[in-house]
Structure 1
Amino acid sequence: MADLSYLDWPFFDDSHRALAEGLEAWCVAELDHHEPDDVDAACRELVRKLADGGWLRFAVPSAFGGAREALDVRSLAIIRETLGRHSGLADFVFAMQGLGSGTISLFGTPEQQAAYLPAVAAGEKIAAFALTEPDSGSDVAAIATSAEEQADGSYLLNGAKTYISNGGIADYYVVFARTGEAPGARGLSAFIVDADAPGLEIAERIRVIAPHPLARIVFNNVRLPAGALLGERGKGFGHAMATLDIFRTTVGAAAMGFAKRALEEATRRALTRKHGAGTLSDNAVVQAQLAEMILDIETASLLIYRAAWLRDVAGKRNTKEAALAKLHATEGAQRVIDQAVQIFGGEGVTHGSVVEALYREVRALRIYEGASEVQRLVIARQHLANP
């Protein structure tokens, strides 16, 4: 049984404890850690299962079928940590339903929210968030995809996005494009683009080390109605960052889910693997490895749930705290899982073992939603602005 003692921390209320306990029981009954042969089909099935379990309701506000009045970062983090401990793909599916609808929850018109959010919560629409481009990864201000307004108020969308999660299986994409109000970050806007829009092409499916549906998407004169504009024109950079401020914390939570599973596996291995007259757990080196793993997990967990509490309860913008949480949690999880592989020895690098899958699964978390290098810049700039 998973250690849920962290739920006694003052960051949570009884509803969070009930959520964690209920989801843990559901995961034990419904999920496993194996990798599917058909990742697209597996993701569609997981969307359905998460919706049937009621867990996708936490990805949207209650006015549109959600579980809480507003997006609650503590709930999102608990869900991602729990799912991540049981299934990296289930965590991916949940995260993308939240990230791909988050900008709509925060900035959409009532009509946009009604058209998309209930379907996200019910598992009827698969969501995607299209920010990264072939020539602009971490540098969002360098986005080149353009949306030119036409005389009738519509927009013509042209350009390309890459490494888009749920690319190829999504029902819609939240796309960030240049509308030209000003250079750099000040000239971007967000749009909702349905996957069947004429001119939208899945140019390439991208295969990565931990199987997830990703794609490069090309927009060739995709005509968008005026109602596809999401939020204020020219405010797309701020809309994207506000969305990431919520979900960046939960990336750290997913990393901790992976790390906690690795610690469980390594502990079991240490206690049962014969070593001399005893087991690996009697070895001082292994004990030190386990201690370092525990330290990384505990410190990261505190940073994650502090960042979530600041937003949910204190009502504060948590840009620095979310960056601290993501940076420390993802880097720490990489170390934890690497130590688990070391404790397993040859079995740790054998394809199909849990720790080998975790090793591949965790690596992308240090890159997406702001690479570790970017998080360091965010932290430093926030600190220097408020010394």
Structure 2
Amino acid sequence: MKVLIIGSGGREHALGWKLSQSPTLPRLYFAPGNPGTAELGTNLKLSNHAEITAFAAEEGIHLVIVGPEQPLVDGLADKLNSIGVPCFGPDQAAARLEGSKTFAKEVMEATGVPTATYRAFEDLEEALAYAESQPHPLVVKADGLAGGKGVTICQDLAQTQAALQEAMADKRFGKAGDSVVIEEFLTGTEVSFHLISDGERFLPLISAQDHKTLYEDGKGPNTGGMGTYAPSPLVTPELADTIQNDVCIPVLNYLRDQGHPFRGVLFAGLMLTWNGPKVLEFNVRFGDPETQVIMPLLDFDLLPVLHEAARGKLDTSRPHGWRDDSAACVVLAAEGYPVSPRKGDTISGLAPAMDTKIFHAGTKRCQDGTLETAGGRVMGVTAWGEDLETARTKAYRQVEEVKFDGKHYRRDIGGSAR
């Protein structure tokens, strides 16, 4: 089977790594990929949707897996499906769940999915006036895609005013900040819940827990994710059933009834509050870095599952087991991340230990064969073992082996679960 994976990060490296273990031994292509994916298949320079669809048709690709959210929001799945190439990822209309915070809130209102109270604004003065009338803390979210950096937790009115000014007037997030959502601040513990859907049936995946802030103990700016672990001990079988029944199924049914069956990964970011789980956001693709801890624990052939889901024919009767282990991923970031990460630092020390895998993200292979930093989140060091402490110990031991100037990482990934 010929498989094309769209994206260049650690998520795509992890997906390719897992798919390469399939008994069907798929031929893997990545667009554009990274130095890690180049060891699994062929990296391609396909710069737009037209080139991707043309390659998929000419090469006879059996399945396209879209890693990042932007191509889905821009309608890549629609284009691939129109030429008969199965795409694992929702169509443009369903992808608005991630592409627009306002749309996601409207869907949750229509389906009764628990979430924070909110108001959406397109006018800065109206947003400022509303903020003055509300108790703090508040959360300001750019409505559109902002690479995981469009959310600001504001402890007081001055911070809210600054966040609104940055998003709506200064255009820090580009068009994503043309409108904003202001919502109540939820307290509790954050967890990530993924399921694979073909539009009718679904397969829940193991839970994970991300660490969003740049520094330990929830301090510093939000990032795309500084590390994660799985499974989350907070997501009991009973809670998983509640999330499926009260959050995922209503949304999947709503999109199906609107004529846009969701074929891909529905990823719910949830806050576990005293009043039960509430949705912080929806993503329409595998999480990053959650994928890096989910894939090592998966104990079944992922390839047919993704292929079936993309074609609306998911077989949920097939056994889908998980390893009785835990996994932890520590993200190594470049100096200056997330505002202006430095690039071009030489990387060394990448020989992985047993039950450890280094997933590339912001890396570049030079002509002389050396490896350099080329992005904010440089790589994710993932390890797994019989329990979380074992996995953490292995991961942090490997982290110390990886060398590059300006290396930054959090030292408390998975620490709160001990």
TM-score (norm 1): 0.31
The structure in which a higher percent of residues are helix is 1
The structure in which a higher percent of residues are strand is 2
